[in-house]
Structure 1
């Protein structure tokens, strides 16, 4: 069974990530683990033994708070909770704590809410941007205004390089959800022409998975992110998928200067990012 690590800091914004993960689990048998990272420093004159006892009591309170927080989201969504766990884990840095826990426990995805600000100064140092930049486990960034709706369609933004291998991962995710896939590619001036026949054959080969190809010339008056957002506004997908670092030139176009994190903060739909090693 695929497993999703769903992070929360108990804020109302973080409920979006929980709602999206719960929706995923309603369409496919995902095991959900709701995760809270905390840290308590001994800034008092307590002895090590006394502080350890204090930390245990505080950890119990945090665990109960997480259990209640998750239960309230299920209750608000009118969904029965199954295949779920609630875990708290102590570490100084929340982002590395999340990454390490996900990797060590072989999670399929990490799901995290994002607050919706596109300003770079608010992105650097955030858990979302750090996870997108460094996690080997795919990250789902969910905008804070997400409300539960069935996942019916996905836009997969691609440079069409290594398309076959990437498409396998996309289909592996979308097939059990019965969601259609729109492969989105923008042609750039002076870019080597893609062998469209080869691409068409690959799309035809996977036609049973409800896949279509969308290629258009990029509007150079706008950023690539703005071009993508214009397509999203028109197509109204349930979510979007990107791959990072697979091809450096494409990485530069979309993800340079934390633009992947920037997109995740501006996005109107959840974003799934596969970060290849």
Structure 2
């Protein structure tokens, strides 16, 4: 992992994401790509293709450039390679196209908190980026003073399709020398015996070189509550999940599950594409 993309609207939530990216960059010699998507009012769209952009567009662009420069001069970004870009494009499409073009390894996006994350995860830019991005996406709520996750929960059904993204999860875990808690949530609607759950996880882990991990079976009324309660019980620093992409967020990040996690988990989430 060498390139981190931080989409920014210059808000406090974007600052939280940028500060986290700065910590990762300083400790690992990564470069940060700081991207601002300038979504101009629809009535001005036609002017972009004209010979002379109207003054309002030029004003928006100039203001964005000034704010971007001030952002780059923040103390916590000293000695970090920053590549900044301002694009006239809708946010989701612009973020995804930039990530693909520049071969981004990790996207970090912030949120305002419980209500803010609910709003952006469900049906808005962040949810769309999470669903469609080929690069892992990390979503955080609050400013993190020192990001060094040593206790990571990976909640999954450990099916065959999880094996490919799991390599990326292992790479991420090894960078922090973290313990990986492989967790299967059993509910009344997805009940498995302890013997069967253990067999599924043991068969899954045999194919990987995992140095520091533990398997867990956690029973709860539904999957999202199980993830929340288990993560809180073991004081996890980070929750990792997988998404199917085109079909929406798989098993652990669909419908009410994503809403509950967004509303009640203050921990950072990292989502990998299946």
- State if a TM-score over 0.5 links the two structures: yes
Q: How many residues align?
A: 265
Residue in 2 aligned with 1:212?
Answer: 214
User: What does residue 241 of structure 1 align with?
Assistant: 240
- List, as ranges, runs of 4+ consecutive aligned residues in structure 1 with deviation greater than 6 Å: 44-47
Distance 1:263 1:81 in 2: 35
Deviates more, 1:30-39 or 1:162-171: 162-171
Residues 128 and 209 of structure 1, relative CA distance in 2, 3 Å threshold = same
Per the alignment, residue 67 of structure 1 pairs with 69
Residue 4 of structure 2: aligned partner:
4
Cα distance in 2 between the residues matched to 1:83 and 1:233: 35
Structure 2: tracts of 5 or more residues without a match: none
* Matches for 1:1-277 after TM superposition, within 5 Å: 2-41=2-41, 43=43, 48-51=50-53, 55-56=57-58, 58-72=60-74, 75=75, 77=76, 80-91=78-89, 93-118=90-115, 122-123=119-120, 124-162=122-160, 164-189=163-188, 191=191, 193=193, 194=196, 196-197=198-199, 199-200=201-202, 203=205, 209-216=211-218, 218-220=219-221, 223-245=222-244, 251-252=250-251, 254-257=252-255, 259-260=257-258, 263-264=261-262, 266-276=264-274
Q: Is the 8 A contact 2:3 2:33 kept in 1?
A: yes
Structure 1 vs Structure 2 CA RMSD:
3.2
1:44-68, Cα deviation, whole Å (9 max, x unpaired): 7989444267645642431231121
- Judged with a 3 Å threshold, the aligned counterparts in structure 2 of structure 1 residues 20 and 203 are, in CA distance, closer, same or farther, namely same
For residues 28 and 117 of structure 2, what CA distance do their matches in structure 1 show?
A: 35
CA drift at 1:265 = 5.3
Specify the SS of the correspondent of 1:255: coil
Q: How many angstroms apart in 1 are the aligned matches of 2:176 and 2:142?
A: 22
User: What is the rounded CA distance, in whole Å, between the counterparts of 1:33 and 1:155 in structure 2?
Assistant: 27
Distance 2:106 2:143 in 1: 21
Output one character per residue of 1:23-79: Cα deviation in whole Å (capped at 9) or x when no partner.
22233232211111003348579894442676456424312311212432xx1x4x6
